[in-house]
Structure 1
């Protein structure tokens, strides 16, 4: 997925015991490499590619698929956040988040940006979203919220404590900490959060310009965002569909980025961003599978197709983005947009050995004429034979290697059943 490098028809990769790529190349490895004490794994007939990177996800929403099928963003939020937000019990967020992380990993997303939510509960329940990820072998950026009812000094201490968990050294699955910026109220509220991010040297992300019906209202907030210093090289805007020329040009000039979520945007009827124009403007662009309650399936192959086909239908033209371009958007370009491209997003020496083994013959997809086109047009997560993180196989044929997913799935079902009972009881009162 590196720029200006085409797919190898035949190649090899060397992975160290500690899970890094130490060498790779086209053709066959040298005799010197083969003479070492190494384990050789033959993947003849398979496609080796970097694991997908999701630049915007809400892992806890894995327990709410199919909810509000006729709602766009605001009615959908009413059906999930504003209906059940106060009904979470201890342990719910942890179980739901772990379920969502495993679901993404089994679909080939080896790195995710978990854009957390506070909802209507206390900090102990909120931070379960971190606990739920820590035991899953998926890389993640933890985008934490601040409690707007608390003072900035409390925000900072909580973030410092969270940073101690990651130590800002990605030797495990916790890659880095980020801020879920909540720009509610006057510009000073957003400005205080931007100041926190700058003080801690972390990035931030916020939902912006998603719902079609609120686009004029959302655009009117831009002067306040500008006043608060939101557009910057630290910022990524999730969705960012209904921009005007000023918002786009100022965001690009500030070094900001956006995360495109085709499946979610299609499901909620949010709209289609003009990705080609965004890229031409210099805006950083990545892709995400969003939460499983608005995209419902975590298959990045479907996300690629949904996005590329929608652009081609709108333009009535297939000469724009090509398969290799959109593959890069969901791997290395997302990693760059999030600031984690030194570690993930492409197969390069010195990066984590996080990759997928795709078998185009299981299920059978036919002869391969062009590798990137075949991946985008013909494959799905069902073709993922195995998922590797740090050189270790963590998923095989869609199932975790060293983890039984069934008990967790049953636990999530039971917790949702109890949540619905609590909600019904509260409503009855």
Structure 2
């Protein structure tokens, strides 16, 4: 069965529009409940977290109704980061974890992500089985077996205390001034608390959510806000999270940005030197810059590439026994600490590198020279398949011939939005622009 509801990161779309409706959330909750509660017992638990979108209330209630209708007991965490849901699913012995969030997307979108009892995101196979249950009649529990729901008041506090344990130098943030941009999202309370309790002087940005302003000119996709705060306050570092805090961008004292590739390069080099890097390899996606691959190779390390999506990075890490991976977009996965990308814990590891080396952020944010890379997105209408158009295929074939092995070309559909992503890398920037623009024009005409 082909997956129709689930994308590369759960279910996502415009709130109150299929598939992100209350009706679908109720059915998804019931299907997930039926998938996990197979023995008829009433002891099964689900933890549900969310970010700060207004539609989160609607989806939270609908999911709870569906889950309890099949006999699952629901623990409601309220606004917490996505990695907190992964952590609490495992630590609270839940059978299932659910995060209601559309990550870096604007406030009018929302999404539903599922975690298994081990705290890792569900596999494609498990999501396909849930979709199969969705297609039929979902058997409800008997009246005496309907599940219960209750709010958990200390979920955020549990995650805060755990995050602090991942920083190896207690008290050594004293004297450091840190800007933390929480994107008016899920980490708006947890992230400033962690940094302050570890001793930093904290400049919070994006910590006044109102249901509509998540990722709005703030967070890891709008770095100008954090950069301005870093410079204005004379901060030593900026940490910019996205709406659900599973990814991060780092800014040095001058407001210069280190993306996920540069952060992973720093961690890989440091961990390799200390013997902590499992398998002498880093796992990243096909979007990571060629410069990262060259950087690792120069140190005798490997880059293992996967399809786009942090779930595929994690799957490869688990298959190969690797403990460091991520995406250029800022998902940094450190399985020594977390089961999914964790922007806050990655920020703490960067701070640890500053403290241990005595270097300023500006000395750490640029680990390698990037190969010129260009990425453009083309939106397409529902029901169209622009990549299969003859003119698009011809443009791609022509671009590959012009690169002639001197660079990389990657054309793909987004797994979370109706976008065609056109990415290319090569040393010749003029050729790079011509290639990308040519393919974009072809896609636009087909779309």
Q: Give the structure-1-normalised TM-score.
A: 0.27
Structure of greater relative contact order (alpha carbons < 8 Å, 6+ residues apart): 1
TM-score by length of structure 2 reads 0.26
